[in-house]
Amino acid sequence: MGFTENQEALVNSSWESFKQNLPGYSVFFYTTILEKAPAAKGMFSFLKDSTGVQDSPQLQAHAEKVFGMVRDAAVQLRATGEVVLGDATLGSIHIQKGVVDPHFVVVKEALLKTIKEVVGDKWSEELSTSWEVAYDGLASAIKKAMS
C-alpha cells in the first residue's frame, strides 16, 4: 500500500509539535544519537569541541533540517510514491564525513525516539511507522547518491 493521506497528516502534525520546542528536542535527538554511537560526536563540526550536547543555533539548524527533510519525504511519498533528493551534494558530504550504513540505523532509532518524546500520549504505531517509512525512503535516496 502507498503512503496514505492519514500518514502524511500524522507526520505533518508531529513535525509542527517538534518545532514548538526545537532547542529541547534537538538536544534530545543528538543525545540519543551519541548514546548509541559515541564515536559519531567527532563527525559533527559543531559537537566535536564541546562537552556533552550543548544547545547551539547550529545544532538546532541541523536537527531541524534533518526532521524537515523527512517530513518533505513523507509529502513526496504521498504525492508521487517516491523520494527524490533535492540536494545532489548530500551524497558526497556524507561520504566525506565517513558516514556508513549502520549510522543510518542509529539516526533512524534516535529520530523515532525523539518523535515519541514529541507526541507523548498521542503516540501510535501508525505515527511511528509513517516517520519510519518516510525516513527509509529518504535514507535510500541519500545512500544511492553516496554509491
Please report, for residues 11, 61, 63, the alpha-carbon distance to residue 134 in angstroms, rounded to integers and kept in the order given.
9, 20, 16
Degrees, nearest 5: CA angle 15-142-145? 155
Residue 3 binding: pick among ligand ISQ, ligand HEM, none (C-beta 5-8 Å cut-off by kind): none
User: What letter would DSSP give residue 44?
Assistant: S
Residue in 47, 63, 69, 73 binding ligand ISQ, rule: CB under 6 A: 63
Residues that bind ligand HEM (CB under 6 A): 40, 43-45, 62, 65-66, 69, 90, 93-94, 97, 99, 103-104, 107, 135, 138-139, 142
Q: Which CB atom, from 82 or from 122, has the smaller least distance to ligand HEM?
A: 82
The answer for 115, left when phi > 0, alpha when psi is -120 to 50, beta otherwise, is alpha
Q: Does 69 bind ligand ISQ (CB under 6 A)?
A: no
Closest distance to ligand ISQ from the beta carbon of 42 (Å): 14
Q: Does 142 bind ligand ISQ (CB under 6 A)?
A: no
Cα–Cα distance between 77 and 62 in angstroms, integer? 23
